[in-house]
A = this chain, B = another copy of it.
Amino acid sequence: MAHHQLGELDEKILKLIIGNARMPFLEVARECNVSGAAIHQRIQKLTNLGVIKGSEFIVDNTKVGYETCAYMGLYLKTPGQFPSVTEALKQIPEVVECHYTTGQYDLFIKIYAKNNQHLLNIIHNKLQPLGLARTETLISFKEAFKRQIPIEIDYED
């Protein structure tokens, strides 16, 4: 498996920092009973391995003017459209996630818009010109909760 390089210390570090990217590494070190340099080097390693892909501040979308959150399922006309449509979606900043999916849809995306009218504008002016076969829209009117993946590493060695 892809995560065979990770040990208990890595797991403990990830659990501590995954939900708080501003936690000082020295504090992590104290929690783990190792030196600060050890944490520094482990996090470096986790970053080099691609386990850690970056960090983010979590911003309340409604407080920066995005009242509408929607998911959309997209049907392509032909599978050949995958690369061009994905590239075009990347050019639309309001599209914040894009997945290739099995079953129902070909692509599944998440969009933030200022309001419902803005969402309609995005659909009409930016999505429809892409030449999709069909789309389906699902509007989230409240995010009940959102959190991180649970870190529970199996040591299969």
Stretch of A34-42, A124-132, A147-155 that contacts chain B: A147-155
Could you tell me if B86 and A63 are in contact, using CB atoms closer than 8 angstroms?
no
Q: Name the prevailing secondary structure of the A interface residues.
A: mixed
What is the 8 Å Cβ interface bit string for chain A, positions 51-95, against chain B (1 contact, 0 not)? 111111111111111100101010000000000001001100110
Enumerate chain B residues within 8 angstroms of A86, measured Cβ to Cβ: 144-145
For the complex of A and B, the 6 pairs showing the least CB-CB separation, nearest first, are: A21-B21, A99-B140, A21-B55, A93-B150, A98-B144, A100-B142
Could you tell me if B96 and A149 are in contact, using CB atoms closer than 8 angstroms?
yes
Interface residues of A (CB under 8 A from B): 1-3, 6, 14, 17-22, 49-66, 69, 71, 73, 86, 89-90, 93-94, 96-105, 107-108, 112, 136-154
Enumerate chain B residues within 8 angstroms of A14, measured Cβ to Cβ: 57, 59, 64
| A102-B139, A139-B102, A143-B98 as given contacts; A63 in contact with B90, CB under 8 Å | no
Could you tell me if B54 and A55 are in contact, using CB atoms closer than 8 angstroms?
no
CA A51 – CA B58 in complex, angstroms? 8
CA A86 – CA B142 in complex, angstroms? 12
